[in-house]
Structure 1
Amino acid sequence: MKNWISALMLACVASVGAWAGGGPEYSALTIKSALSKGADAVIRQEEVQFTVLSAKSATEKVRQVVTVLNADGKEHATLVVHYDKLNKVDYIRGTVYDMTGKKVRSIKNSDIRDYSANGDGTLYGDNRVKVVEPTHSTYPYTIEYEYQTTSSNLLFYTTWAPISGKKVSLEKASFTVQMPAGIDLRYHEQQLPEKASISEVNSKKTYSWQLKNVVPIETEQYGPPFYELIPMVRTAPTTFEVEGFAGSMESWKALGEWQNKLNAGRSQLPDATKQQVLTLTQGLATPEEKIKAVYQFMQNRTRYVSIQLGIGGWQPFEASMVDSKGYGDCKALSNYTKALLEVAGIQSHYAIIYGGDDNRPVIKDFPSSQFNHVVLCVPTPKDTIWLECTNQMADAGYTGSFTGDRYSLLVTPEGGKLVSTPKFTAQDNTQKRLVKVKLNSQGGGVGEAVTVFTGRQHEDRTEVLNRLKPDEQLKWLYKATDIPSFEIKKFTLEKVKGVPQVNENLQLELPRVASVSGRRMFITPNLMNRRQSVPLTTETRKHDVVLTYPYYDVDSVEFEIPAGFKPESVPQPVKISSVFGEYEAKVNMKDGKLVYQRQLTMHKGRFAPDRYAELVEFLKKVSRADQQQVVLAADSI
Structure 2
Amino acid sequence: MKSFIISSLLFIATLSNSFAQNTWTVASIPAELKEKAHAVIRNSETVFIVKNLGEAIEKQHTVITILDEQGLAYASMNLFYNKLQKVNNFEGVLYDSNGEKVKKLKKDDIQDGSANGNGTLFGDNRYKHAEFRYALFPFTVEFITETLNKNLLFYPMWFPQEDEENVTVEQSSLKIQMPTGMPLRYKSINGMAEPTVENKPEGTTYNWQVKGMKVYENETYSPKWTRYGKGVLTAPNEFEVEGFKGSLKTWKDIGLFDNTLCEGRDILPENIQQEVKQLVANITDPKLKVKKIYEYLQSKTRYISIQLGIGGWQPFEASYVAEKGYGDCKALSNYTKALLKNVGIESFYASIRGGSNERDIQTDFPSQQFNHVIVCVPMKTDTIWLECTSQDNAFGYLSDFTSDRYALLATPEGGKLVHTPVYKAKDNQQNRNIKVTLAEDGNATAEAVTEYTGLLSDDYVEIKNLSSRDEQQKQLYKSISVPSFELNDFSIQDKKSMIPVATVKLNLNVRKCASKSGTRLFLTPNLMSITHIIPPALDKPRQTEIVLKTAYTETDSVLYQLPKNVALEFKPEGVKFENKFGSYQSEFQMKDGSLLYIRRFVRNHGKFPAVSYAEFVEFYKKVSKADRTQVVLKL
Same fold (TM over 0.5): yes
1:578 partnered with 2:576: no
TM-score with structure 1 setting the length: 0.94
What letter matches 1:569 in structure 2?
A: F
- Matches of residues 407-446 of structure 1 in structure 2 within 5 Å? 407-446=406-445
C-alpha displacement at 1:304, in angstroms?
Answer: 0.7
Measured against aligned partners, the alpha-carbon deviations of 1:31-68 in whole angstroms (never above 9, x if no partner) come to: 00011111111111111111111101111111111111
Residue in 2 that maps onto 1:74: 72
Residue in 2 that maps onto 1:605: 606
C-alpha displacement at 1:117, in angstroms?
Answer: 0.6
Paired with 2:191 and 2:26, the residues of 1 have a C-alpha distance of 26
Measured against aligned partners, the alpha-carbon deviations of 1:188-215 in whole angstroms (never above 9, x if no partner) come to: 1113452111121115111111111101
Compared CA separation, residues 501 and 444, structure 1 to 2 (3 A): same
C-alpha displacement at 1:420, in angstroms?
Answer: 0.5
Compared CA separation, residues 226 and 291, structure 1 to 2 (3 A): closer
Residue in 1 that maps onto 2:81: 83
Residue in 2 that maps onto 1:175: 174
C-alpha displacement at 1:475, in angstroms?
Answer: 2.0
Residue in 2 that maps onto 1:251: 250
C-alpha displacement at 1:568, in angstroms?
Answer: 2.5
What letter matches 1:233 in structure 2?
A: V
Residue in 1 that maps onto 2:373: 374
Paired with 2:439 and 2:102, the residues of 1 have a C-alpha distance of 72
Paired with 1:342 and 1:42, the residues of 2 have a C-alpha distance of 55
Residue in 2 that maps onto 1:15: none
Q: Is the 8 A contact 1:425 1:551 kept in 2?
A: yes
Compared CA separation, residues 226 and 133, structure 1 to 2 (3 A): farther
116, 121, 127: which one aligns with 2:119: 121
C-alpha displacement at 1:326, in angstroms?
Answer: 0.5
- Matches of residues 167-206 of structure 1 in structure 2 within 5 Å? 167-202=166-201, 204-206=203-205
Paired with 1:345 and 1:278, the residues of 2 have a C-alpha distance of 10
1:527 partnered with 2:527: yes
Residue in 2 that maps onto 1:269: 268
40, 43, 49: which one aligns with 1:42: 40
TM-score with structure 2 setting the length: 0.94
1:337 partnered with 2:336: yes
What letter matches 1:543 in structure 2?
A: Q
Measured against aligned partners, the alpha-carbon deviations of 1:66-108 in whole angstroms (never above 9, x if no partner) come to: 1111111121121111100101111111221111111222111
- Matches of residues 234-383 of structure 1 in structure 2 within 5 Å? 234-311=233-310, 313-383=312-382
Q: Is the 8 A contact 1:20 1:102 kept in 2?
A: no
Q: Is the 8 A contact 1:126 1:310 kept in 2?
A: no
Paired with 2:216 and 2:284, the residues of 1 have a C-alpha distance of 57
C-alpha displacement at 1:445, in angstroms?
Answer: 2.8
Compared CA separation, residues 259 and 162, structure 1 to 2 (3 A): same
Residue in 2 that maps onto 1:539: 539
Residue in 2 that maps onto 1:104: 102
Compared CA separation, residues 524 and 335, structure 1 to 2 (3 A): same
Residue in 2 that maps onto 1:500: 500
Alignment size in residue pairs: 616
Paired with 1:415 and 1:319, the residues of 2 have a C-alpha distance of 21
* Secondary structure of residue in 1 paired with 2:465: helix
Q: Is the 8 A contact 2:393 2:496 kept in 1?
A: no
Q: Is the 8 A contact 2:218 2:227 kept in 1?
A: no
Moved more, 511-520 or 431-440: 511-520
Moved more, 624-633 or 318-327: 624-633
Paired with 1:415 and 1:235, the residues of 2 have a C-alpha distance of 22
Structure 1 runs, 4 residues or longer, greater than 6 Å off = none
Q: Which sections of structure 1, spanning at least 5 residues, go unmatched?
A: 1-18
C-alpha displacement at 1:590, in angstroms?
Answer: 4.4
Moved more, 347-356 or 101-110: 101-110
Paired with 2:168 and 2:436, the residues of 1 have a C-alpha distance of 55
Paired with 1:268 and 1:300, the residues of 2 have a C-alpha distance of 20
Residue in 2 that maps onto 1:152: 150
Q: Is the 8 A contact 1:434 1:449 kept in 2?
A: yes
Moved more, 527-536 or 405-414: 527-536
Paired with 1:516 and 1:201, the residues of 2 have a C-alpha distance of 82
Paired with 2:44 and 2:559, the residues of 1 have a C-alpha distance of 63
Compared CA separation, residues 216 and 255, structure 1 to 2 (3 A): same
Residue in 2 that maps onto 1:551: 552
C-alpha displacement at 1:490, in angstroms?
Answer: 1.3
What letter matches 1:537 in structure 2?
A: A
Q: Is the 8 A contact 1:387 1:398 kept in 2?
A: yes
Measured against aligned partners, the alpha-carbon deviations of 1:482-504 in whole angstroms (never above 9, x if no partner) come to: 22332222110112134521100
Measured against aligned partners, the alpha-carbon deviations of 1:148-193 in whole angstroms (never above 9, x if no partner) come to: 1111111111112221322111111221111111111011111345
Residue in 1 that maps onto 2:9: none
Q: Which sections of structure 2, spanning at least 5 residues, go unmatched?
A: 1-16
Paired with 1:410 and 1:469, the residues of 2 have a C-alpha distance of 39
In percent, how many aligned pairs have the same letter? 45
State the Cα RMSD in Å.
1.8
Moved more, 369-378 or 441-450: 441-450
* Secondary structure of residue in 2 paired with 1:266: coil
Compared CA separation, residues 21 and 564, structure 1 to 2 (3 A): closer
* Secondary structure of residue in 1 paired with 2:179: coil
Residue in 1 that maps onto 2:90: 92
Measured against aligned partners, the alpha-carbon deviations of 1:447-488 in whole angstroms (never above 9, x if no partner) come to: 210000111111111111112411121122122112233222
